[in-house]
Structures are given as structure tokens and as C-alpha cells.
Amino acid sequence: MIQRIILFLCTGNYYRSRFAEHLFNHLAAQRGLAWRAESRGLAVELAARMPGPISRDTVARLNELGLTFDSDHRRGIACNVADLSKAAVVVALKEAEHRPLLAGRHAGWEDRVTYWHVHDLDAATPVEALADIERLVSELVDSLALKTMEGADPNG
């Protein structure tokens, strides 16, 4: 089965996009969808000062949900054009934050992605932000499942 890729983008690939990636992969597998999520950062150098390779809040919420995920806890990966090109769907977690980064680092892509509006720690608690991501990822998975059942192009 050929899997389509959805790419979640945030700034450091440390917190929000990593949570979206793991949650999406869990929910898509439960639904038997031929989709797999990856995540990347648009400015991973900004997360270099963060403790550990992945946010403790992300790990804690994944554990609370009973989700298993790779235990290697890789560091954030910088987004490149190949990542953007191979994804059938690209979602940036916060338009105000990520549109300028896309425009500056990957000009032309800023108008080719879907933007959500999930705040980072400067404007939301982890409980609030991760709850928003849970809702949005669940809605996305539901939409992809419906399009698959209807035989529609899940990219459209």
C-alpha cells in the first residue's frame, strides 16, 4: 500500500509539530488510512537551547493518551524543499509565525500550505495548545477517512 505523506511544520520541530506527527500516525493507523505524517522545523536552530530532543509536554501528553512512539526521541529536523515536495499535504501550525519563515527560507511555498492557528508557549499553555492540535488532527483524520470512503481525491 502506497502511503501519502502529510508534513507538519513548526518552528523548532520540538513541540507542536512533533505532537501532531505522532497523534496523526496513531489515528491514521487506527482508521486504516494510507497516510503517514512527518514533521519538520522551519528554524530548528531556535530549539537548540531547549532541554532534550523533544518537549516534555509533548511526551507527557502522548503518554497520557497511551500512544506509543519511537523511543529514540530524535532532535528536530530542518525542513527542506524535498520534504515539502514529497508531501501531499503540508500543514504549518501557526500562520502568523510560520508564513514569514516559509517565505524567507522556502520562497513560493508560503501560499501552498494549510495554516492552523495553534499558539506556542508565548500565548498558550501546553494543555491549551495540545488540545487544539488534538482537535485539529482528529478533524483532519476524519476528513481524510471520509474522502477515502467516498473515493474522492484526499488531496482535494
Kindly state the cell numbers that stand for 113: 500550505
Q: Does residue 141 contact residue 28 with C-beta atoms inside 8 Å?
A: yes
In whole angstroms, give the CA distance from residue 66 to residue 44.
28
| Successive 10-residue mean pLDDT values, the chain, 156 residues | 91 94 95 95 87 89 85 82 97 97 96 95 93 97 86 52
Q: Does residue 26 contact residue 137 with C-beta atoms inside 8 Å?
A: no
Q: Does residue 38 contact residue 82 with C-beta atoms inside 8 Å?
A: no
Annotated domain spans of the chain? 4-150
Residue that the C-alpha cell 494543555 belongs to: 127
| SS3 call for 106 | coil
pLDDT of residue 155: 47
Please enumerate in sequence order all residues whose Cβ is within 8 A of that of 22, keeping only pairs 6 or more positions apart, or say none: 37, 58, 62, 67, 69
Q: Does residue 38 contact residue 83 with C-beta atoms inside 8 Å?
A: yes
Q: Any idea which fold 4-150 has?
A: Rossmann fold (3.40.50)
* pTM of the complete model: 0.91
pLDDT of residue 152: 54
Triad 83, 117, 114: Cα angle to 5°: 40
| SS3 call for 9 | strand
